[in-house]
Amino acid sequence: MAMNTEWHQAHPMPHKANLAQRVSWHRLHAEHCDCRPIPPDIMIEIDRLERSKNKKTYRPR
């Protein structure tokens, strides 16, 4: 696993990051660096967000 040091220096995790900030940071991190996998709690949230984004809303006729 290779660490992209330049990316890490330019994109630090925000101090006391909330869940949305952590999800956003880890998504970008996965695109630019291979130093570690996305933590399970963040993957659960990403999956939940993807499912809700793809879910069609009920529209009565």
| Total tally of structural domains belonging to the chain | 1
Would 7 be classed as within a structural domain? Answer: no
Q: 48: Cβ–Cβ under 8 A, 6 or more apart, which residues?
A: none
DSSP conformation letters of the chain: ----HHHHHHSPPPTT--HHHHHHHHHHHHHH--SSPPPHHHHHHHHHHHHHHHSPPP---
- Please provide the average confidence, as pLDDT, over all residues in the chain: 88
Q: What's the rounded mean pLDDT across residues 25-50? A: 92
Quote the pTM value.
0.79
**Is the pLDDT assigned to residue 1 strictly greater than 90?**
no
Would 11 be classed as within a structural domain? Answer: no
Closest by Cα among 38, 25, 31, 24 to 4: 31
Q: What's the rounded mean pLDDT across residues 13-18? A: 94
Give the C-alpha separation, 56 to 23, whole Å: 23
Domain enclosing residue 28, as ranges: 17-54
